[in-house]
């Protein structure tokens, strides 16, 4: 006899509706990772398969959109199959299919969206379009089972730097954002200038451990009238000017000192903005998300600052900070139980805003 498990509704100890026995197959292809995952009830990861194209893009010093789309097309079938296989499940037992539909590279997003639509249509499953940044934020639910909104969240990745008030599941208020470069982009550009290669974040993080963060005084930008906005292009220029100045004077730069001083300037600004928001909005909990959230100096500084304020601090494990589909499965679950469904006309939206549908 077939074993049928029905979805069940109940409330958790905070009085929120939760649904059990929901398995989401999630797909992510917004940038240079082709990823698929199976996530149960928003917080339990049954599989998380990531096929990274980093080695390919390293040859060009950054992500080449056309190459990214082509590689996604080559990989997507097997990545999805592996995710189902590793989870020990099949499409028939999946409740819904979630997919990132923005923001990101349009050609890259389209591969995931088209694949998810085809799978959902063929298997008669609901389709749920997920916002990439919402996915990054929801990565925190996986590693921190007790975490529930409201909380403040700093989303720092290669493409985004947002300070967000997470009011409730699926309900966000953007308090501040970058005016120019994203934090991860600044890491990548500075790493290239220092001669560390792509992707720069993890390399700067590593070499900075051997450097003096107070060796060089780099600027910390403040924006008049927008206390939660960020700007990293001035800092990046200051580092480039410093390097050029040293070259002209025929002085060999100390890579570790430049990396540590640059990193400290970024971390100081991020933590300062986060703590100002804690004071103003009275957050009792704060989280970080996105690729840069795995930076060791940022984590250490946030742990210290949060302890001083007496608030809880949450962060995902490094594999859930950079792009992955498990985070899309977590976000997809909360969208699904809120009744959100996408139509067959779901399209890639390269500059989709958080909170927009
Ligand atoms: O979230 P993610 O995978 O992609 C986007 O959605 O943009 O973030 C990638 C970014 C890259 O810029 C990378 O250099 C940065 O995250 N990153 C780091 C670290 N690990 C990754 N930046 C600083 N320190 C790290 N340990
Ligand atoms: Zn991302």
Q: Please state the domain extents for the chain.
A: 8-138+321-337, 148-315
Whole-angstrom distance, CA of residue 99 vs CA of residue 153: 22
Give the CATH number of domain 8-138+321-337. 3.30.420.40
How would you write the pLDDT of the chain (357 residues) with one tens digit per residue? 444 556 666 677 777 877 889 999 999 999 989 999 999 999 999 999 999 888 887 777 778 888 889 999 999 999 999 999 999 999 999 999 999 999 999 999 999 999 999 999 999 999 999 999 999 999 999 999 999 999 999 999 999 999 999 999 999 999 999 999 999 999 999 999 999 988 899 999 999 999 999 999 999 998 999 999 999 999 999 999 999 999 999 999 999 999 999 999 999 999 999 999 999 999 999 999 999 999 999 999 999 999 999 999 999 999 999 999 999 999 999 999 999 999 999 999 999 999 877
If you measure from the C-alpha of residue 351 to the centroid of ligand 2, how many angstroms do you get, rounded to a whole number? Answer: 13
CATH topology of domain 148-315: Nucleotidyltransferase; domain 5 (3.30.420)
Which atom number of ligand 1 is nearest to the Cα of residue 294? 26
* Protein residue with its CA nearest to atom 14 in ligand 1: 201
Output the residue whose Cα is nearest ligand 1's atom 13: 201
Q: Is 98 buried (19+), middle (13-18) or exposed (0-12) by CB count in 10 A?
A: buried
Q: Is the CB of 143 under 6 A from ligand 1?
A: no
Ligand nearest to the CA of 186: 1
Q: Which atom of ligand 1 lies nearest, measured to the CA of 198?
A: 14
Residue with tokens 């990548």, as numbered in its chain: 188
Which residue among 187, 266, 269, 319 has the greatest number of ligand 1 atoms within 8 angstroms of its CB, and so is best to mutate? 187
Which atom of ligand 1 approaches the CA of 296 most closely?
Answer: 26
Element (H or E) spanning 134, and its range? helix 132-143
Which ligand 1 atom is at minimum distance from the Cα of 318? Answer: 20
CB-based neighbours (< 5 A) of ligand 2, an ion: 157, 323
Q: In degrees to the nearest 10, what's the CA dihedral of 186, 190, 196, 202?
A: -30
The string of DSSP codes covering 231-254 is: --HHHHHHHHHHHHHHHHTTPPP-
Q: Is the CB of 152 under 6 A from ligand 1?
A: no
Q: Do domains 8-138+321-337 and 148-315 have the same CATH topology?
A: yes
Ligand 1: which of 184, 232, 301 to mutate, most ligand atoms within 8 Å of CB? 184
Task: Name residues whose C-beta falls within 8 Å of residue 151's C-beta, 6 or more positions apart in sequence.
Answer: 166, 283, 284, 285, 286, 287, 314
- Looking at residue 14, what is its pLDDT? 76
Please tell me the distance between residue 200's alpha carbon and the centre of ligand 1 in angstroms.
8
| 170 CB near ligand 1 (under 6 Å) | no
């Amino acid at each position: 006899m077939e074993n049928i498990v029905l979805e069940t509704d109940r409330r958790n100890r905070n009085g929120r509706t939760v649904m059990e026995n929901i398995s989401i197959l999630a797909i992510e292809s917004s940038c240079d990772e082709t990823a698929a995952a199976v996530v149960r009830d928003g917080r339990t990861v049954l599989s998380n398969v990531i096929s990274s194209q980093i080695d390919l893009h390293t040859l060009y010093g950054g992500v080449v959109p056309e190459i990214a789309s082509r590689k996604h097309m080559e990989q997507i079938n097997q990545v999805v199959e592996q995710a189902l296989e590793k989870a020990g499940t099949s499409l028939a037992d999946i409740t819904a299919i979630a997919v990132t539909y923005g923001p990101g590279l349009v050609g890259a997003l389209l591969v995931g969206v088209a694949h998810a639509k085809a799978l959902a249509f063929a298997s008669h499953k609901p389709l749920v379009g997920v916002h990439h940044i919402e996915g990054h934020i929801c990565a925190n639910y996986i590693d921190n089972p007790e975490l529930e909104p409201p909380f403040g969240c700093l989303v720092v990745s290669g493409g985004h730097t947002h300070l967000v008030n997470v009011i409730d599941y699926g309900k966000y208020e953007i308090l501040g954002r970058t005016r120019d470069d994203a934090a991860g982009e600044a890491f990548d550009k500075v790493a290239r200038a220092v001669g560390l290669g792509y992707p720069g974040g993890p390399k700067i993080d590593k070499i900075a451990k051997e450097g003096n963060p107070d060796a060089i005084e780099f600027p910390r930008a403040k924006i008049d009238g927008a206390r939660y906005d960020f700007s990293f292009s001035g800092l990046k220029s200051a580092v480039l000017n410093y390097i050029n100045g040293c070259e002209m004077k025929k002085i060999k730069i100390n890579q570790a000192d430049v990396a540590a001083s640059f990193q400290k300037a970024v971390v100081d600004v991020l933590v300062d903005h986060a703590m100002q928001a804690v004071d103003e909005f009275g957050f009792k909990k704060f989280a970080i998300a996105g690729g840069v959230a795995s930076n060791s100096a940022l984590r250490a500084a946030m742990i210290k600052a949060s302890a001083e304020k007496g608030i809880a601090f949450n962060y995902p494990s490094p594999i859930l900070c950079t792009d992955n589909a498990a985070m899309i499965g977590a976000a997809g679950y909360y969208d699904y139980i809120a009744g959100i469904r996408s139509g067959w006309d779901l399209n890639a939206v390269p500059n989709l805003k958080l909170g927009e549908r």
